[in-house]
Amino acid sequence: MLAPADRAQAALERVVAEKPGGHRRVGQVEMARAVAEAIEQGSHLICEAGPGTGKSFGYVIPAIVSGQKVIVATATKGLQDQLAKKDLPFLAEAMAGLGITFSWAVVKGRQNYLCKSRLVERLEKEGLVAQQIALEGLDYELPEDLRLLAEWADVHPTGDRDDLPAELPEGLWESVSVTGMECPGRDECPQAGDCFAMAALDAAADADIVIVNHHLYGSDLALGGGVVLPDHDVLIVDEAHRLEDTMASALGIELAQGRFWQVQRSAGSYLRGQSPRSKADKILRPLADQTKRVQQSLDRTDVGRVDGAGALGAAFSAAASSLAAVTKAIRASEPTSPGVLGARARVLRLAVHLAGDVGMAVEPPDGYVSWIERDSDRTAYRIAPIEVGPLLAEQLLGRVPVILTSATLSVAGSVAPFAERLGFETGDESGPLRYRALQVESPFDYRAQGRVYVAARLPEPRSPDYQARALVELEALLLASGGRALVLTTSYRMLTIISDHLHDAVPFEILTQGDLPKLRLIERFEEDETSVLVATMGFWEGLD
């Protein structure tokens, strides 16, 4: 019988031979063998593999061959979709010829799925509008976009926003979806038996390969592990250079005025529908006052590290008392319809979650740091672990073998600094926190295959002439290249400006992020070799 590494290599080479345009890559084979050995031995692996290695096949094929339950965590939804809708379907067909079958599932954050409870709530409200209009002797039609969305939800198997046939009007998706902070969960939601997010979790429980993102995995870890996601034998982390920041965010909290206003709006809408307005306002007014006090305290606090004591701590403490009163009133209410019952569960969850985070802000745990962040229109108070390494060492690295991969993990040729920040230990002796390091060179010959052009003549980005001159420069580059370009911007504002300009300036098809679902946009980009795709920087991570 072949060793696991040999089996993984044989499967990889068979798959590559069947893939159109596929060819053997030495680094990919080396990576696949190392991943197979790590899974077999139950050990940790950190693999830096340059662009063009074929990392996804390099780790997912040995994961499949192992027969173990594996969670693959990516930093971006783009790579999640590439794995689930392109790579894994191809592998399922190719590996069937080897007698290897497997199942897979994708789990995304709650806000990516249509919420049946909120849809029912929205349709009930539209029904009340229809009744009122009918009393006035007028005809009423359900808004076309909402009608089409309801029909789509009735027949679609996953309810995943990325599967929508077209982009929705601003605000519509937000009115029929929830965040993880709002979702009341399987035990409390009246639509739990028909819930897309719950169905995704149920599918994940039965699947061999489960695709998630870093933040969702971190959120599950913050709850103790195995609470949201299923138990698993192996964790593989792609785009691992982003794991430290994502884990710090998932294991911490952020408080800004928007969260308080969200609770106030949601609770206000709910309570005013369940009791006289004057009674609801009496309960809500202290929260409104304390929300203003929190915002004033945030605005008066300097950017940087802060202590929870003082005016900011007092404001948070007062807000906690107001939240407790609102929560008590919501619990005491008696909903009368499925839509209202769902609204009650959602608003209660939102208020309880905020109250818990406010409590953490009043007394930050040991080993955590708190600070103020501020941009042009928003101030936020954040708490995060000073180091994620000790938490990961305790809650993750001692439980399952972890395989980390990315193109950029090393510092001065070593992955040790990266490994130590994540809780691994460096040394020759064995142990639960030890790891093997593998660095695989990119197969690309950058000098022969690429050119770097720096537009040194452009003014500083803050210059009033920058935008116009940058557009002229970009137009010239695209004409010189015959299109065939991925244009990345650092803001949605520039995305719109560049896209609008290029539509009139160059004779190529201009594809713009947001015009179509991402996978369809990429397909169009591949189909037309002269097309130009304009997107934000995050779009290209995980782009095949």
Domains, the chain, in order of start with CATH, read 4-103+207-250+388-440 (3.40.50.300), 111-191 (no CATH), 253-381 (1.20.120), 451-540 (3.40.50.300)
Q: What is the distance between the alpha carbons of residues 38 and 68, in angstroms, rounded to a whole number?
A: 12
Check residue 308 and give its pLDDT.
62
Ramachandran area for residue 351 (φ above 0: left; ψ -120 to 50: alpha; else beta): alpha
Q: What is the distance between the alpha carbons of residues 435 and 237, in angstroms, rounded to a whole number?
A: 14
List, in sequence order, every residue forming a beta bridge with 213; answer none if it has no partner: 74
Q: Which residues, including other chains, have CB under 8 Å from residue 338's CB and lie 6 or more apart?
A: 117, 120, 124, 190, 191
**Per-residue tens of pLDDT for the chain, all 544 residues:** 789 999 999 999 999 998 888 889 999 999 999 999 999 999 999 999 998 899 999 999 999 999 999 999 999 888 898 899 999 999 999 999 889 999 999 999 999 999 999 998 888 888 766 666 666 666 656 788 888 999 999 999 999 998 888 878 878 999 999 988 888 888 888 888 999 999 999 999 999 999 999 999 999 998 888 889 999 999 999 999 999 999 999 999 999 888 999 999 889 888 988 888 888 889 999 999 999 999 999 888 889 998 766 788 889 899 999 999 999 999 998 877 777 888 888 899 999 999 999 999 888 889 999 999 998 778 999 999 999 999 999 999 999 999 999 999 999 999 999 999 999 998 766 778 999 999 999 988 888 888 889 988 899 988 999 999 999 999 999 999 999 999 999 888 999 999 999 999 999 999 999 888 777 888 899 999 999 999 998 787 766 6
What secondary structure letter does DSSP report for 395? I
- Largest CA-CA distance found in the chain, in angstroms, rounded: 83
List, in sequence order, every residue forming a beta bridge with 356; answer none if it has no partner: none
Nearest to 236 by CA among 5, 64, 374: 64
Nearest to 119 by CA among 157, 173, 172, 176: 176
Count the residues in the chain: 544
Check residue 120 and give its pLDDT.
87
Ramachandran area for residue 305 (φ above 0: left; ψ -120 to 50: alpha; else beta): beta
Tens digit of each residue's pLDDT (9 = 90 or more) over 475-519: 999 999 999 999 999 888 999 999 999 999 999 999 999 888 777
Q: What is the distance between the alpha carbons of residues 93 and 20, in angstroms, rounded to a whole number?
A: 14
Check residue 18 and give its pLDDT.
87
Both tokens of 490, joined, read: 């650092």
In this prediction the pTM is 0.88
Q: What is the distance between the alpha carbons of residues 319 and 291, in angstroms, rounded to a whole number?
A: 7
Q: Which residues, including other chains, have CB under 8 Å from residue 200's CB and lie 6 or more apart?
A: 105, 106, 107, 108, 113, 158
Check residue 428 and give its pLDDT.
65
Q: What is the distance between the alpha carbons of residues 469 and 471, in angstroms, rounded to a whole number?
A: 5
Ramachandran area for residue 23 (φ above 0: left; ψ -120 to 50: alpha; else beta): beta
Both tokens of 337, joined, read: 């319809």
Tens digit of each residue's pLDDT (9 = 90 or more) over 59-69: 999 999 999 99
Neighbours of 442 (CB within 10 A): 14
